[in-house]
């Protein structure tokens, strides 16, 4: 790389870092590396973008550490200059994220997360019942390889509503085994049959076995999920048709 190209990339990266910082609620450290040159940037193109940060907070969701790497980027230059990055073509991105137990519990109370947890439909003895999560959901990372969830949900069935308490310990998928439920406890309350517990257990299994999730049009695949005591490490790959608003 020529000295001139290196200087150009540094200037563009600094501008992109300033633009991204302005959209974040907080960041203890943030670095943006844009691989491009003045000519490509003027055409709204970049070979790749790498972002790394610590203590980054977006929409009240905090991550302890993060790195994001994109492939080729094509964007609307005018909108980007006005502070809004709009893609002309979809891009692919890989991310590595580390969250502490406190980060996860904070996320469980953030609107950007709670609004994406819709009511679940259960089949209980041939009847359709719905379950709405009561926030917040408590998350614990008690030991390596385990996630514990404790919470409550409102069960709507036959015109009546009742709160259901539950506790579940999950063993995420690894190269050695698929996702597992180590334990599942549910207190459906007096007068509710064991079928409620069975239906909830089956729903948990179905959700955990999904190969990907969709958020604002983005298709996200979890490539690796590692649980350490008090910390969650996540590697994902995403297909991004458009940058969501922060």
**CATH code (residue 138):** 3.15.10.40
Q: Residue 188: its pLDDT value, please?
A: 63
Q: Residue 189: enclosing H or E segment and its boundaries?
A: none
Judge if 194 and 218 occupy the same domain. Answer: no
Judge if 13 and 39 occupy the same domain. Answer: yes
Judge if 136 and 187 occupy the same domain. Answer: yes
Judge if 220 and 198 occupy the same domain. Answer: no
Judge if 143 and 91 occupy the same domain. Answer: no
Chain centroid offset of residue 151 CA = 20
Q: Residue 193: its pLDDT value, please?
A: 54
Judge if 227 and 161 occupy the same domain. Answer: no
Judge if 128 and 142 occupy the same domain. Answer: yes
The Cα–Cα gap between 243 and 84 comes to 9
- Total count of domains within the chain: 2
What does the chain come to in residues? 246
The Cα–Cα gap between 183 and 243 comes to 38
Which stretches of the chain score pLDDT less than 70?
1-5, 81-83, 188-196, 207, 245-246
Query: Do the domain assignments include residue 52?
Result: yes
Find all residues with CB under 8 Å of 100, minimum gap 6, and list them: 64, 230, 231, 232
Query: Do the domain assignments include residue 106?
Result: no
Give Dmax (Cα) for the chain. Answer: 76
Q: Residue 141: its pLDDT value, please?
A: 94
Query: Do the domain assignments include residue 105?
Result: no
Domain region containing 185? 111-208
Predicted TM-score of the model (pTM): 0.84
Judge if 121 and 195 occupy the same domain. Answer: yes
What distances in angstroms separate CA 195 from CA 124, 187, 198, 212, 223, one per listed residue?
6, 12, 5, 28, 34
Judge if 9 and 129 occupy the same domain. Answer: no
Judge if 165 and 142 occupy the same domain. Answer: yes
pLDDT in tens, 72-119: 989 887 777 666 778 889 999 999 999 999 999 999 899 888 887 778
Query: Do the domain assignments include residue 195?
Result: yes
What distances in angstroms separate CA 5 from CA 18, 35, 51, 142, one per listed residue?
20, 10, 20, 49
Query: Do the domain assignments include residue 245?
Result: no
Judge if 54 and 86 occupy the same domain. Answer: yes
The Cα–Cα gap between 6 and 69 comes to 19
Q: Are the C-beta atoms of residues 208 and 225 closer than 8 Å to each other?
A: no
Q: Residue 154: its pLDDT value, please?
A: 87
Judge if 90 and 45 occupy the same domain. Answer: yes
Query: Do the domain assignments include residue 246?
Result: no
Q: Residue 233: its pLDDT value, please?
A: 95
CA neighbor of 180 nearest in space, from 166, 170, 189, 190: 170
What distances in angstroms separate CA 118 from CA 20, 131, 133, one per listed residue?
30, 9, 8
């Amino acid at each position: 790389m020529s000295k001139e190209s290196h200087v150009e990339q540094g200037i563009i990266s600094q501008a992109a870092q300033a633009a991204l910082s302005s959209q974040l609620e907080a960041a203890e450290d943030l670095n943006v590396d844009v691989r491009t040159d003045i000519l490509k940037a003027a055409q709204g193109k970049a070979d790749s973008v790498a972002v790394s940060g610590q203590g980054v907070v977006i929409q009240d969701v905090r991550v302890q550490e993060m790195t994001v790497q994109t492939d080729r980027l094509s964007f609307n230059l005018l909108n980007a200059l006005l502070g809004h990055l709009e893609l002309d073509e979809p891009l692919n991105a890989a991310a590595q994220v580390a969250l502490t137990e406190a980060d996860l519990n904070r996320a469980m109370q953030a609107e950007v997360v709670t609004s994406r947890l819709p009511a679940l439909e259960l089949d209980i003895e041939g009847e359709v019942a719905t379950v709405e999560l009561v926030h917040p959901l408590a998350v614990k990372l008690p030991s390596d390889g385990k996630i514990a969830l404790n919470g409550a949900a409102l069960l709507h069935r036959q015109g009546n509503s009742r709160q259901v308490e539950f506790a579940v310990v999950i063993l995420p998928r690894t190269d050695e085994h698929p996702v597992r439920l180590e334990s599942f406890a549910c207190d459906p309350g007096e007068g509710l049959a064991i079928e409620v517990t069975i239906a909830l257990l089956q729903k948990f299994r179905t959700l955990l076995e999904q190969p990907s999730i969709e958020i604002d049009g983005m298709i996200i695949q979890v490539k690796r999920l590692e649980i350490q005591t008090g910390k969650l490490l996540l590697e994902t790959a995403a297909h991004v048709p458009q940058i969501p608003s922060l």
